[in-house]
Structure 1
Amino acid sequence: MIEDFDLPGFIAATLAEDLGQGGDITSAATIPADAMLTAVMNSRDAVTVAGLPVAAMFFQALDPDAEITTHAAEGTAVPPGTVLMTIRGNARAVLAAERSALNTAQHLTGIATLTRAHVDAIAGTGATLLDTRKTLPGMRMLEKYATRMGGATNHRLRLDDGVLIKDNHIAVAGSVEAAVSAAKAAGLSGIVVEVDTLDQIEPALAAGADRLLLDNMPPPVLRQALAIIAGRVPSEASGGVNLQTIRAIAETGVTYISVGRITQSAPAADIGLDFA
């Protein structure tokens, strides 16, 4: 489901953080050790689902015999009141895992839901929505998984996963030509160069950029930039993108739109766990 990510390690670390040394002392004091519980996880909002398999792993980590039925597929849009999962297992275990499971499902579903809203906003324009590296430390692979469930395409996953020459690289290298030449000399390909102004476009293309990231350009300027690029390389718009601006940006004809807020600012989905 999620490549290059230690899910068992994540589950163990998250539960250890919540359980501490003494475990769930409230449940241990108030619930018999052999009591069973059936609970349903449900969405109280209209959402795009993400993270249910991860949530299930929390319950199974504390009760390997728990019976879990998932009722909604990852990446599907569901209305308010939808039952997402049914859990039957040891009551103490279910309640001890509840918060970790819900936190994860709420966070990832929130990202998928906000992502889907952005994807829907540019439908029919031909532009592709990209995520960014603006993710919580330790959560990147999960959050980028959630953006995929919302319909986005992953941008580079790590610093070793793609070449992006930004303004600071250019400043230190001395020029865009020097930065791109050094990247090529290092054997790198797929070089993306960030440009902030129209007069940077031709030098970046002449240097051998494979894609241009047009940073913080409003739609009229983007159209001018695309006229200069004239289809020679793919284009990417970034900066100042939200649900109010993304349609106009997409209609300029850019190839990609990268949006940090779909991971950085997504509100948690309202998902609860109730006694059945």
Structure 2
Amino acid sequence: MKILIADDDPQIVRALRITLRAKGYQIVTAADGSQAIAAAIDHRPDLFLLDLGMPQLDGLEVISAIRGWSHAPILVVSGRAGAGDKVEALDAGADDYLTKPFAVEELLARIRALTRRSAQDDSLPIVRFGDVRVDLAARSITRATAGSVRQVRLTPTEWRVLEILVRNPGRLVTRQTMLTTIWGSEHVEDTGYLRLYLSQLRRKLEADPARPVHLITEPGMGYRLEGVSAASATAREDHPGHG
């Protein structure tokens, strides 16, 4: 497995390179944002470890550039501990966020978790609810309306919210579970985030956003995705694209 480490602190890069190579990972490094994008294109890593405060291009710009063509997991490793920084990175397309300083064991655990999630993607199902078709592996969403099929574009965080619900069809997903999974345990009380993103998803995916029949709120508890059915996996080839 190939990991790209992008950080302008040579001591951190050296320590991570030694640690991860000892665990059997192949390592590519970059000292700034421009180098990170170039290395990503040249080496096509399986996972990214990115600092936010890099010269040339900052980490957010690198994430946005990578997400234009790659779905490889992105783990932000940054000294910025603010909630706003974390939310901004996840919204840009990062999959996880680890604050410096960190324990090596936690870093390795997060890499393993992201690797498992990535390895499962190719076998993820295609599901339908109403006129919406969701391909989890391709991260593609289409909607059939007025006799035509169109691609639905979601922000990275909208996708993460929907993905959690799609992976748990018909089951209650608590607000605490969703907040912790997406933003971390320090945000378990920030229910306004979820109301905002569920409202945006309903506008994009429900026939009548004011009277949702699929993206259901369970007052005081959480959310549920109703009316989900499996679609043919062979249909992926007929609807390329990314949501």
> Which has the higher relative contact order, 1 or 2, with Cα contacts under 8 A spaced 6 or more apart?
1
- TM category (shorter chain) comes to under 0.3
The TM-score with structure 1 as length reference comes to 0.25
| TM-score, normalised relative to structure 2 | 0.27
